Amino acid sequence: MISKLKAAVAGLALMASPALAVDLEFYFPVAVGGAAANTIEELTNEYIAANPGVNIDAIYAGSYQDTVAKALTAARGGNAPQLSVILSVDMYTLFDEDLIHAFDDFATTDEDKAWLKSFYPSFMENSMIDGKTYGIPFQRSTPVLYYNKEAFAEAGLTDAPATWEEMKDYAGKLTKKDDAGNVTQWGVRIPSSGFPYWLFQGLTTSNGATLVTDNGTKTNFDDPKVVEALEYLVSLSKDGVMAPGIIEWGATPKAFFEGQTAMMWTSTGNLTNVRKNAPFDFGVAMLPANKRRGAPTGGGNFYLFKGGSDEETKAAFDFIKWISQPTQAAKWSIATGYVAPSPATWDSKEMQDYAADFPPALVARDQLEHAVAELSTYENQRVTRIFNDALHAAITGDKSAADALAEAQAKADAVLKAYR
Amino acid sequence: MTLSLTRALNLIGAWALALLWILPLAYAVWTAFHPAAYEARFDLFAPLTLENFAKAWEAAPFARYFLNTFVLVTAILIGQFILGTLAAYAFARFEFPGRNILFALVLVQLLVMPDILIVENYRTIRALGLIDTIGAIAIPYIASGFGIFLLRQTFMSVPKELVEAAQIEGMSTLGILLKVYVPLAVPTYLAYGLVSVSHHWNNFLWPLIVTNSVETRPVTVGLSIFASIDSGVEWSVINAATLMTSGPLLIAFLLFQRQFVQSFMRAGIK
Amino acid sequence: MQRNWIHAWLLLSPAFVFLLAFTHIPAVTTLWNSLFTTPRGRRPSRWAGLENYETLIADPIFWKVLSNNIWFALGTIPTSIAIALAMALWVNEKLAGRGFLRMAYFTPTVLPMIAVANIWMFFYTPGFGLIDQITGRFGLPQSNILGQPDTALWGVMAVTIWKEAGFFMIFYLAALQTIPPSLIEAARIEGAGPWTIFRRVTFPLLMPTTLFVSINAVVNSFRMVDHIFILTGGGPDNASSLLLFYIYEVAFRFWDTAYAATLTVILLAILGLLAIGQFFLFDRKVHYR
């Protein structure tokens, strides 16, 4: 009865102030299972409750791909959302389509300007163009190495591999075969379906290569260091310590739980999942180093879309600022396993408690120091597709690493020429 | 001797194929009722659980999605039947200028599925102010070239004598359609209805693009929430959700399969 | 006569409003768009003439997906129709467990592709997937059907056949039940074996259904791409990509709408030829009861 009354009062209040209300549309993708959508909605509702006059319609828009498709389609139809979480690598595409605002245009106070500088620099590499901030890191991740401690103990190993050489060596020791000579446990699993370039960047970066230069207009796919990295990846399968062929990303955590592989490379976005479901003691480590340590960052940024009224855009800006504050970001990070994007968040009490309870969460943070931007160019999806196809061709043995990458470089040049 | 051998072979073949065909459903049932740890372990004594259903139920409002799909599929079907019948009738019964050109245009739509014209159609829907309504999902499909074509084929085979007799009795144009043509085309309606329902029950991309909210989204879009990329596939939850949403149709088929097939048959024999 | 015209046009107008608005006009716009460059926010589109078509001819991925699609159509259409027919013949007889058989064959129709693709992915998963668990019992090594370029398309085709055959079975079943038993009986009395009866009596009588089903199958072989999203994403190296999937990628991932329009024009041309062929077959040979 009382709740009904409350609802009625709230309804009246709403009716009384329609002119003041700002309605925002907020598209978000979910890439880590069902519960994440609920967390977004909780946070949004919390903000609405604290800010009467702002109404945010949080719209689950599918996967990352679906979300960018939806946002672009809507924008072309003249119906862009005011804000959206979209992959950080789609920034150039959104910029090129002239769909997004620079946050600097709205960061008028000193406090706002400080906020723009409050995130980890490795995340900002994918969030700025020409010194202006176009994305605010939110659901960001980085790949790490998960390992099965029980399998390690069985093979007489204690620590995670620190270098490429060690990883391959360990993987050899961890690969088990049955009497018929069929493998029952692989040493390592680096999934290559869908978007292989991302994990592969863990190899190119640690080999000292930079895949993209010149503000997203030039790729270096045929750099000998990249070729070397691909040859290493191919050699893992060829030498029988990793399953041959394309390895499915979606089935990778399950393969790890089932003891099909002793080590796996996958996103930190999987931490919560692995923690809940691994039937054995597991460890998390940074990706192994070769010439240096290195990994890409990944995941999604907040973008501020053009097309709304000033009032709406300002309200969207305020919401993004609010949700990226330590308390909210910590809540999000803990619920999903995404890496909290600012040092302040890691200093918050919630995060401190979480890390004390679950130290592997810190690995991702520590790796950020070595992390670089995820492969991102103009016409990003087309260029990464070219690169992915080349990786697939090499992994499945259709082409040599050098040939595949040289071809990919030529194709990417043809696409990017127009932007230089 | 050979007859009974043939029979045995047939029986074995039929069952082998059936077991193969039901495997995905069997697997869905297995994973939905067991903890995630048994997704890939087929242990007879695995503990049973309903937790996956609870999880799936919590993750998305499936009752609502199911209702939306039901409304959507019904609306499209009714629209297609009405518009298709009227148009097919015109093609089958009347001579008029432009008949061939218009029929060619209908044939074009047999191939140019609105599935391909998403960007253009989105613009139109937006201009009509229909974004985020069930109507927006339905209207590009409401006039179906396939339906018109199929009904025209059937209507063409209606004996001229029947039509003439009805005319002599003084029936109106619409009266002849309803009293003579439509009853004779019932099997076609059933067959086409099945194609239509099945297609729209499965359709994913277009609804995803034109809808934004729980109130309008169909089941397929709801299911895609679990086909996530970062954290791996949660088979037990996605399968529980699949069962929840497909269960009613399956059960309906089990209960009504005889009537269903017989109505095809009865309609056909007439 | 005049009145007939008006009647006909009135009857047609509601359907044509929708047909024109959501098919023909957008299709023409698509054709038109294929003659321009893709507009980007910062660079408006310009007249390109046949440039996009030149790109298409030089695009190895286009040729790859085109040949994939032809193999896909050849591999799935006859197989799924044949299986559907066999299924229908079986459940039309009084075999033991007919209710179960019918339900089993019917399941693909009610399970949405987007959900079922995940289940098939599990079947195909190397190591702990269902197929490997079974073959592993016999000491066979792990397979990676979806992860190898020479088998990925087959894996996708199997799922398609599963989906299509169960669906088409229903039409055959309904048609079979309309065949008068007396015809079969008469043939039997004349000493015809089951195979002869099928070839001489049943199959010819099922011709309208076969054509109905095959139109559906052809259209579907160029339209069914939902499962590719989940199973392979078109990989490895486009080995399992199909024309519509490529169009989707170009349009909604690469945002190259002009090139997508160009590809769409090709798809339309292919489907147009096929449908014209089928239409003549349908119109001439088949006398719907």
Residue C15 has pLDDT above 90, yes or no: yes
Q: How far is C169 from chain A (nearest CA, A)?
A: 33
Q: Per-residue b/e over A207-244, b at no fewer than 16 CB within 10 Å? A: bebebbeeebebbbbbbebbbbbbebbbebbeeebbbb
Predicted local confidence at residue B2, as pLDDT: 62
Q: Is A258 found in the same domain as A229?
A: yes
Contact across the interface for B226 and A78, Cβ inside 8 Å: no
State whether CATH 1.10.3720.10 applies to domain C60-285.
yes
> Are A265 and A409 members of one domain?
yes
Both tokens assigned to B43: 């242990």
pLDDT of residue B1: 47
Asked if this assembly's ipTM is beyond 0.90, the reply is: no
A220 and A281 in a common domain? yes
Which pLDDT score is estimated for A18? 41
Judged against a pLDDT cut of 70, whether residue C288 lies above it is answered with no
Q: Is the pLDDT of residue B257 over 80?
A: no
Closest chain A CA to residue C125: A251
CB-CB contact of C62 with C56 (8 Å): yes
Residue A192 with chain C: CB contacts under 8 Å: 147
In eight-state DSSP terms, residue C40 is B
Domain of A182 in residue numbering reads as 143-296+379-419
pLDDT at B23: 92
Q: Are residues A400 and A275 in the same domain?
A: yes
Question: In the predicted model, what is the mean pLDDT of residues C261-268?
Answer: 88
pLDDT at C38: 84
* Each residue's pLDDT expressed in tens, for chain A with a length of 420 residues: 444 444 444 444 444 444 457 899 999 887 665 567 788 889 999 999 999 889 998 887 777 877 887 888 788 777 889 999 999 988 988 998 889 999 999 988 999 999 999 999 889 988 998 889 999 999 898 999 999 999 999 999 999 999 999 999 999 999 998 888 888 899 999 999 888 999 999 999 999 999 998 788 899 999 999 999 999 999 999 999 999 999 988 889 989 999 999 999 998 888 888 888 899 999 999 999 999 999 999 889 999 999 888 889 999 999 999 999 999 999 988 888 888 999 999 999 989 999 899 888 889 889 998 999 899 888 888 999 999 999 999 999 999 999 999 999 999 999 898 888
Q: Are residues A223 and A114 in the same domain?
A: no
C25 vs C31: CA distance, rounded Å? 10
Preferred mutation among A193, A197, A384, A407 to probe C, highest tally of C CBs within 10 A: A193
The reply to whether A156 and A269 lie within a common domain is yes
Q: Which domains does chain B have, with CATH numbers?
A: 50-269 (1.10.3720.10)
Neighbours of B, requiring at least 3 CB pairs below 8 Å, are: A, C
pLDDT digits (tens, 9 = 90+) for B122-144: 878 888 888 888 999 999 999 99
Q: What is the pLDDT of residue C41?
A: 66
- For chain C, give the mean pLDDT: 85
Residues A247 and A302 in one domain: no
B234 close to B226: Cβ distance less than 8 angstroms: yes
Q: Is residue A9 part of a domain?
A: no
pLDDT of amino acid A263: 95
Mutate to test the interface with B, among A39, A55, A66 (most CBs of B within 10 A): A66
The reply to whether residue A63 touches residue B229, judged by beta carbons under 8 angstroms, is: yes
A257 and A404, same structural domain?
Answer: yes
Distances (CA, A) of C168 to A372, A419, B102, C162, C217: 52, 50, 30, 10, 9
Phi, psi at A113, each rounded to 5°: -65, -40
Tokens in use for A109? 């106070």
Question: Distance (Å, rounded) from C-alpha B250 to C-alpha C236?
Answer: 35
How many C-beta neighbours within 10 Å does residue C49 have? 9
What value does the mean pLDDT take over residues B210-231? Answer: 75
User: Cβ–Cβ contacts within 10 Å for residue C232, how many?
Assistant: 28
Number of domains in chain A: 2
C-alpha C15/C-alpha A348 separation (Å) is 62
Residues of A in contact with B225 (CB under 8 A): 30, 34, 37, 60, 62
What pLDDT, on the 0 to 100 scale, is given for residue B120? 77
Cβ within 8 Å, pair A78-B60: no
Question: How does pLDDT run across C76-123, given as a tens digit for each residue?
Answer: 999 999 999 999 988 888 788 888 888 888 888 878 888 888 899 889
For residue B91, the model assigns a pLDDT of 93
Q: Does C38 touch chain A (CB under 8 A)?
A: no
B56-66 pLDDT per residue, tens: 887 778 888 88
For residues A260 and A249, give the distance between their C-alpha atoms in angstroms, rounded to a whole number.
14
Q: For chain A, what is the HEC assignment?
A: CHHHHHHHHHHHHHHHCCCCCEEEEEEECCCCCCHHHHHHHHHHHHHHHHCCCEEEEEEECCCHHHHHHHHHHHHHCCCCCCEEEEEHHHHHHHHHCCCECCHHHCCCCHHHHHHHCCCCHHHHCCCEECCEECCEEEEEECEEEEEEHHHHHHCCCCCCCCEHHHHHHHHHHHCEECCCCCEEEEEEECCCCCCHHHHHHHHHHHCCCCCEECCCCEECCCCHHHHHHHHHHHHHHHCCCCCCCCCCCCCHHHHHHCCCEEEEEEEHHHHHHHHHHCCCCEEEECCCECCCCCEECEEEEEEEECCCCHHHHHHHHHHHHHHCCHHHHHHHHHHHCCECCCHHHHHCHHHHHHHHHCCCHHHHHHHHCCEECCCCCCCHHHHHHHHHHHHHHHHCCCCCHHHHHHHHHHHHHHHHHHHC
Whole-angstrom distance, CA of residue C163 vs CA of residue C160: 5
Query: Of C252, C236, C105, C257, nearest to C168 (Cα)?
Result: C105
Of residues A215, A205, A229, the one with CA closest to residue A370: A205
B162, B163, B174 from B179: Cα distances, Å: 10, 10, 8
Mean pLDDT value of segment C13-38:
90
Same domain? For A272 and A258 the reply is yes
Mean pLDDT, rounded, of chain B: 83
Contact C62, C247 (CB under 8 A): no
| pTM: predicted TM-score of the whole model, two decimal places | 0.86
pLDDT of residue C267: 87
Percent of chain B topping pLDDT 90: 25
User: What CATH number did the domain enclosing A273 receive?
Assistant: 3.40.190.10
| Domain boundaries along the sequence of chain C | 60-285
Task: Say which range, A366-375, B189-198, C164-173, C274-283, has the weakest mean pLDDT.
Answer: C274-283
Per the structure block, which two tokens stand in for A359? 């130290």
Chain B residues touching A251 at Cβ < 8 A: 232-233
State the smallest CA–CA distance between residue B21 and chain C in angstroms. 6
- Looking at the structure, tell me whether residues A408 and A289 fall in a common domain: yes
Could you count the other beta carbons within 10 Å of the beta carbon of residue B161?
Answer: 8
Whether the pLDDT of residue C138 is over 60: the answer is yes
For residues C89, C91, C92, C93, the Cα torsion angle rounded to the nearest 10 degrees is 90
In a shared domain, residues A107 and A195: no
Instruction: Please tell me the distance in Å from A88's CA to the nearest CA on chain B.
Output: 15
Q: Are A215 and A310 within one domain?
A: no
Does a structural domain hold residue A14? no
Rounded mean pLDDT, B70-79: 94
Separation of alpha carbons A415 and A419, rounded Å: 8
pLDDT digits (tens, 9 = 90+) for B13-37: 999 999 999 999 999 999 999 888 8
